[in-house]
Structure 1
Amino acid sequence: MQAVKARRAVATIFFLLGTLIGIWASRIPDIKAVLGLDEAGFGLVLLTMAFGAFVAFPIIGRQIDRVGAARITRWLAVLTLILFVGLAAGTSVPVMVPLVFAVGFCIGALDIAMNAWGAEVEQALHKPVMSSYHGLYSLGAGVGAAVGAGAIRLGLSVPQHFVLWGLLMAIMLAFVLHIPWTSEPQAPEKRKGPLLAIPKGALFFVGIMALIAALGEGAVTDWAAVYQIEELGFGSSQAAIGFALFSGAMVVMRLAGDQLIARFGPVPVARLSGLAAAIGAVMLVIGTDIWLIWAGCVIMGLGNAVIFPLAMSRAAADPVMSKGAALAAVATLGYGAFLFGPPVLGFIGTAVSLRAAFGLVAVLALLIFLLAGALKVEGRR
Structure 2
Amino acid sequence: MPDTPAPTVLAARNAVIAMFVLNGTLFGLWASRIPTVSVKLSLDPGALGLLLLLMGGGAIAAFPLAGRWVDRHGAATTTVWVGAIHALSILGIGLAPTVSTLAAALFFFGATHGAMDVAMNSWAGAVERRLPRPMMSRFHASWSVGAGLGAASGFVAIKLGLPLLAHGVLVIGVVAAVCLWLAVPPATSPLWAPAPRIDAPHAPLFTLPKGQLVLVGLIAMCASLGEGAMADWGAIFLMTTTGVSEASAAIGYAVFSVAMVIMRLGGDRVTYRLGPMRTARLAGGTAALGAGLAVGIATYPVALVGFALMGIGYAVIMPLAFSRATNDPILSPGKAVASLATLGYGGLLMGPPVIGFIAEVSSIRVSFALLMALAVLMASLAPALRQPDP
Report TM bin, short chain: over 0.9
What's 1:354 paired with? 364
What's 2:137 paired with? 131
What's 1:25 paired with? 31
What's 1:216 paired with? 226
What is the alpha-carbon distance in structure 2 between the residues aligned to residue 191 and residue 199 of structure 1?
20
Q: Secondary structure at the match of 1:265?
A: helix
Q: Using the aligned pairs only, state the percent identity.
A: 43
- Partner residue of 1:98 out of 99, 104, 108: 104
What's 2:151 paired with? 145
What is the alpha-carbon distance in structure 1 between the residues aligned to residue 204 and residue 165 of structure 2?
41
Aligned residues of 2:18 and 2:180 also touching (Cα < 8 A)? no
What's 1:282 paired with? 292
Task: Tell me which moved more, 80-89 or 173-182.
Answer: 173-182
Summarize deviations over 1:180-201 as a string: whole Å, max 9, x none: 4434525536787432211111
Residue 330 of structure 1, CA deviation: 0.8
Residue 136 of structure 1, CA deviation: 0.9
Aligned residues of 1:62 and 1:191 also touching (Cα < 8 A)? no
- Partner residue of 2:254 out of 244, 247, 255: 244
What's 2:4 paired with? none
- Partner residue of 2:93 out of 56, 64, 87: 87
Correspondence 1:157 to 2:163: yes
Residue 85 of structure 1, CA deviation: 2.5
Relative to structure 1, is the Cα distance of residues 222 and 189 closer, same or farther in structure 2, using a 3 angstrom cutoff? Answer: closer
- Partner residue of 2:264 out of 224, 238, 254: 254
**If the length of structure 2 is used for normalisation, what is the TM-score?**
0.94
Residue 311 of structure 1, CA deviation: 0.3
What is the alpha-carbon distance in structure 1 between the residues aligned to residue 200 and residue 320 of structure 2?
23
Aligned residues of 1:190 and 1:321 also touching (Cα < 8 A)? no
Aligned residues of 2:118 and 2:341 also touching (Cα < 8 A)? yes
What's 1:233 paired with? 243
Q: Secondary structure at the match of 1:231?
A: helix
What is the alpha-carbon distance in structure 2 between the residues aligned to residue 189 and residue 160 of structure 1?
42
What is the alpha-carbon distance in structure 2 between the residues aligned to residue 261 and residue 176 of structure 1?
27
The one-letter code sitting in structure 2 at the alignment partner of 1:15 is V
Task: Tell me which moved more, 125-134 or 289-298.
Answer: 125-134
The one-letter code sitting in structure 2 at the alignment partner of 1:118 is A
Correspondence 1:3 to 2:9: yes
Aligned length: 380
Aligned residues of 1:315 and 1:327 also touching (Cα < 8 A)? yes
Summarize deviations over 1:116-155 as a string: whole Å, max 9, x none: 0111000111421111010110121122112211221222
What's 2:354 paired with? 344
Q: Secondary structure at the match of 1:59?
A: helix
Aligned residues of 2:18 and 2:183 also touching (Cα < 8 A)? no
Correspondence 1:364 to 2:370: no
Relative to structure 1, is the Cα distance of residues 167 and 56 closer, same or farther in structure 2, using a 3 angstrom cutoff? Answer: same
Relative to structure 1, is the Cα distance of residues 337 and 124 closer, same or farther in structure 2, using a 3 angstrom cutoff? Answer: same
Residue 352 of structure 1, CA deviation: 0.6
The one-letter code sitting in structure 2 at the alignment partner of 1:23 is L
Residue 173 of structure 1, CA deviation: 2.7
Aligned residues of 2:19 and 2:183 also touching (Cα < 8 A)? no
Relative to structure 1, is the Cα distance of residues 191 and 69 closer, same or farther in structure 2, using a 3 angstrom cutoff? Answer: farther
Summarize deviations over 1:253-309 as a string: whole Å, max 9, x none: 111111111122111111100000100111111122211011000000000001001
What is the alpha-carbon distance in structure 2 between the residues aligned to residue 183 and residue 267 of structure 1?
32
What is the alpha-carbon distance in structure 2 between the residues aligned to residue 49 and residue 154 of structure 1?
28
What's 1:332 paired with? 342
Q: 5+ unaligned residues in a row in structure 1: which ranges?
A: none
Q: 5+ unaligned residues in a row in structure 2: which ranges?
A: 1-6
Q: Secondary structure at the match of 2:387?
A: coil
Task: Tell me which moved more, 137-146 or 114-123.
Answer: 137-146
Residue 379 of structure 1, CA deviation: 3.7
What's 1:299 paired with? 309
- Partner residue of 1:376 out of 337, 361, 386: 386
- Partner residue of 1:268 out of 278, 290, 295: 278
What's 1:77 paired with? 83
Summarize deviations over 1:177-226 as a string: whole Å, max 9, x none: 32244345255367874322111111111100000111111111111110
Correspondence 1:207 to 2:217: yes
**If the length of structure 1 is used for normalisation, what is the TM-score?**
0.96
Structure 1 runs of 4+ aligned residues shifted over 3 Å read: 186-193
- Partner residue of 2:66 out of 42, 60, 63: 60
What's 1:168 paired with? 174
What's 2:3 paired with? none
What is the alpha-carbon distance in structure 2 between the residues aligned to residue 78 and residue 174 of structure 1?
7
The one-letter code sitting in structure 2 at the alignment partner of 1:150 is V
